[in-house]
């Protein structure tokens, strides 16, 4: 059985997955808009990215906000 061909494989990066677990060196396979595999990915990618020495992380979300509720806290 031939190995699967992925759309993109990011290879050899230090993966920080956001779960709180320690970072590890591995690969990330992407098919369409989905991450399809994380770890040691076999097969090939239509596009392959060498991430050796680089961090691979999920998209960061900026949860910074300004809450102006104090405008209604005072009775004056």
For residue 11, the domain's CATH number is 2.30.40.10
Helix, coil or strand: residue 46: strand
Domain total in the chain: 1
How far apart, in whole angstroms, are the C-alpha atoms of residue 64 and residue 13?
Answer: 28
Q: Is residue 72 part of a domain?
A: no
pLDDT of residue 60: 75
Q: Is residue 40 part of a domain?
A: yes
pLDDT of residue 18: 82
pLDDT of residue 76: 59
How far apart, in whole angstroms, are the C-alpha atoms of residue 42 and residue 58?
Answer: 21
Q: Is residue 76 part of a domain?
A: no
pLDDT of residue 55: 92
pLDDT tens, residue order, the chain (76 aa) = 467 899 999 999 999 988 889 999 999 999 999 999 999 999 999 999 999 999 999 877 676 777 766 666 666 5
CB 13 within 8 A of CB 50: no
Domain of 26 in residue numbering reads as: 5-57
Q: Is residue 23 part of a domain?
A: yes
Q: Is residue 47 part of a domain?
A: yes
């Amino acid at each position: 059985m031939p190995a699967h061909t992925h759309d993109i494989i990011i290879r050899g990066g230090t993966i920080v997955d956001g779960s709180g677990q320690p970072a590890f060196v591995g690969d990330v396979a992407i098919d369409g808009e989905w991450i399809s595999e994380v770890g040691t990915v076999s097969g090939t990618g239509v596009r392959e990215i060498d991430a050796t020495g680089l961090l691979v992380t999920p998209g960061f979300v900026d949860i910074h906000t300004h809450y102006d509720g104090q405008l209604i806290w005072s009775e004056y």
